[in-house]
Chain A
Amino acid sequence: MAATKEEVYTKVQGALVDALGVDEEEVTPEARLVGDLGAESIDFLDIVFRLEKAFDIKIPRGELFPEDILTNAQYVQNGRVTPEGLKQLEARMPFADLTNFSANPVVQDFGNLLTVQDMCRYVETKVGA
Chain B
Amino acid sequence: MRWFWIDRFTQFESGRSATAVKNVSLAEGHLHDHFPGAPLMPNSLVIEGLAQTGGLLAAEHNDFEERVVLAKVAKARFHFSATPGDTLVYQVTIDDIHKDGAIVSGTSHVGPRLQAEVQLVFAHLSESVAGSKSLFDPASLLAMLKLLGVFEVGRDSQGKPLNVPASLLAAAGNQA
Contacts and interface: CB of A to CB of B under 8 A. Distances in A.
B103 interface: yes
A42 B121 contact: yes
A42 B74 contact: no
A45 B74 contact: no
Interface in B55-73: 71-72
Contact of B100 (A21, A43, A50, A61): A61
A50 B72 CA distance: 14
B75 A49 contact: no
A18 interface: yes
B74 A46 contact: yes
Interface in A13-51: 18-19, 21, 42-43, 45-46, 48-50
A7 interface: no
A45 B123 contact: yes
A21 B101 CA distance: 20
Given A49-B103, A49-B121, A43 B98 contact: no
A52 interface: yes
Contacts of A42: 71-72, 121, 123
A21 B74 contact: yes
Nearest to A68: B128
B72 A46 contact: yes
B96 interface: yes
Nearest to A53: B96
Interface residues of B, number: 13
Contact of B103 (A21, A43, A46, A61): A46
A61 B99 CA distance: 10
Contact of B101 (A18, A19, A45): A45
Contacts of B103: 46, 49-50
A48 B100 CA distance: 10
Given A42-B121, A42-B123, A46-B121, A19 B74 contact: yes
B98 A49 contact: yes
Given A21-B74, A45-B72, A46-B72, 17 more contacts: A18-B119, A19-B74, A21-B75, A42-B123, A45-B121, A45-B123, A46-B103, A46-B121, A49-B98, A49-B100, A49-B103, A49-B121, A50-B103, A52-B96, A52-B98, A53-B95, A53-B96
21 contacts: A18-B74, A18-B75, A21-B75, A42-B72, A43-B72, A45-B100, A45-B101, A45-B121, A46-B71, A46-B72, A46-B121, A48-B100, A49-B96, A49-B100, A49-B101, A49-B103, A50-B103, A52-B96, A52-B98, A53-B95, A61-B100
Interface of B: 71-72, 74-75, 95-96, 98, 100-101, 103, 119, 121, 123
In order of increasing CB-CB distance, the 5 nearest A-B pairs are A46-B121, A42-B71, A42-B72, A53-B96, A49-B103
